[in-house]
Structure 1
Amino acid sequence: MQAIRKRYFPTLAEYIRSGSEASLYEATELGKLLDDIHPEEIIAIHEECMHTLVSNVESEEALQLYNRSFIFLIELMVAYRFRNYPEKSTEQKYTEMREMLFQSHRSFVMVKNKYENVLQHMDSGIALFDGDGILSFINLQMAKLLDIPRKTLVGCTIREILLHPQLKRGTKRMILRLYKEMFLRRSRYYELQDACDRHLLVTVTYGDQLDGDYLISVKDVTEYKQIEQTAYQNDKLAMLGKIAAAIAHEIRNPLTSIRGFIQLLRPHLQQLGKEEYARIIVAEIDRANDIIYEFLNSSKPSAPMKQEIQVDALLKEVTLLTESEALMKNCDIHVETYDQMKVSIDVKQVKQVLLNLLRNAMDAIEDVKGERRGRIDLSARSEGRYVEIKVRDNGKGMDRATMNRLFDPFLRRRRPGPDSDYP
């Protein structure tokens, strides 16, 4: 059996490749050698070889190879039946010939059904139209994409499919668009997005390549599109990182000058009773310098530098940093703490988070039209071992498109509905 397999595969592959009479003659010679092999074993060997031959080809090419292999199998089976043909009467010859053709036809149908079963369960949708535009074959995946039972589609023309009572309006528009692109403009490939936001790649093999038939293949490439979009986004972020690094490097020089001038103004602020402002400005400049240093000198986030701090002191400092901007944007910031609480945190990082939330809240309040004054509530309370800090505002909120991009870098938009919370 192993020797037969070794000879069967190259003989079949040569016929499929060339389709020559010489390679078909080899099928006849091979059939004469199959003495003690049952016909079902021959079909199993044929199926095994075909599975190997079509494992790395597109669906439309696989269908062509299957069709061509049937001729090879029939030629081999005829030779197999006549390998030990004795001298018999004419009636006996006709009887055996009739039986042989019946057996060959049954074997052919068996192989055809197996190949169709393979096509039925492919992940690509496949539809085959004959030269008159009538659908002669459609697999399960294509019927699933159309959301119509496949038995009601076979034998229909494009027009009859479009008039099908179960065809959805969105799918009908998609088919019309495909018909315009693929058959009127003769496009071989076309990409589209369906009502479920799936990205579909449609391929057409035209009649001049498929004995007058038209083969349509539809593949869901949503995952590939997502990978492509992620790679594109990474490229943009890499370029943005280079630009940001250059800008950050230049920002350090004016920050140093500002820090020096604040130190010179500190005695004057002390006379005015505003020494606290000078301290906060210097601390914030130092924090900005630290952030720039970490950005320029580390390829990954550093470990948190934790220290113990009073929560109310943290909230008071954040409020001082934002109160002037809040007044300009017509809003009040109300701070509320329920008890004296201490936490061990990275002060710089948590302070940056709170500043971002407050600025987002002010952006939302500024966009609200009318005379209503904005209000931001900044509160903290103990929750067991943890402290919950909540930012609440009466701004306009974010639409769904903005929410989907919530974690994009440098995006400043808002959330749906007023009076919403940020935990």
Structure 2
Amino acid sequence: MVLKSRRKTVLSKISKNVLSKDISGYNNLILQCIPSGVIVINMDGIVTFCNPSADSVLGIDCTKEKDKSYLNILKGNSQVAQLIKNGMKGETYFRKQIQIKADGGAKWIGISTAILYDDKATSLGVIAVFSDITDVKELEAEVKLKERLAAVGELSAGVAHEIRNPLSAIGGYAELLKRGLAEDEITSAVDGIIKEAKNLNQIVTNFLSFVKKPQPVFNETDVKALLKEILPIACHDKGSGRIDINIKLARALPVIEADHFELKMAFLNIIQNAVQAMPNGGRLTVKSGIQYGMMFIEITDTGGGIPKEIGDRIFNPFFTTKEQGTGLGLAIAHKIVESHDGKIEFKSKKGKGTTFIIRLPIRR
């Protein structure tokens, strides 16, 4: 009985050993065949594993190198070597995109790294897994180019549409001047030309404000004081009825790093948009506070609201539902807020009004 028991123990150990070897061999086969590159480096900086895909992606040949240190094997790929060096210090990366030189040209790779531990949580080394994403990056660039061209076409159409009316008016006034008018009629026609020329200048100014990349000059800015400064200006709209202003600004609102002029323009555009949404009068509420570590400013009107079907287009340049609007105010405000690492969003109910929420970082 004792002999049988020993035989069973020995056979069990042999079976487990064979199974372990089979699994190890199977895992190794998988690593050798997968299309992603895999490199394993121990804590001494020696490459202990490098699959064929790693050779192909990085343009190296691990098997031919006598010096197996990662610094030698990756001598032509300094960025990859640096990530591995950082990994040995405890840093990890997930799908980091870097451009490398391989096979006489440049290519993009997406790389992830992790630290290898044994069952006692002792660091054994670093594993790096990466793939060639050059085709993906080229496709992204192609899509971005098409988007830019589409945007240019849309902007051009918008500009053409906006300048057509003032130009037509100027042409009409010029025709009248040619006919020989009375003195008071000449004065009226000239005033009309001057007015339309100013409108054209405003359209061009707004357009340039939108297309130029914001380069904010950050200084300490008191948002509370800024809002109090612009509210009377923004609410003075001849085309609107009586506007009641309700201010609910937090008392302890901190000073933030921002571009005073650009932030003023953004708030002015949003508040004017709210006022214009209430042609028969209404209530404008401006609220501020701190939430999720960011400053928020809410601007609420009691206008007709924004229809759901156009909600995703209101920040597009030249999109407007107003007869006299240029469709650039909200687009410019959106761009300015983003240049401050902030966010702008809105919520609206038909017949109830709209609230724009601007979130700005307190610390930069």
Normalising by structure 1, what TM-score? 0.33
**Highest relative contact order (Cα 8 Å, sep 6+), 1 or 2?**
2
- The structure in which a higher percent of residues are helix is 1
- The structure in which a higher percent of residues are strand is 2
Structure ID, larger Rg:
1
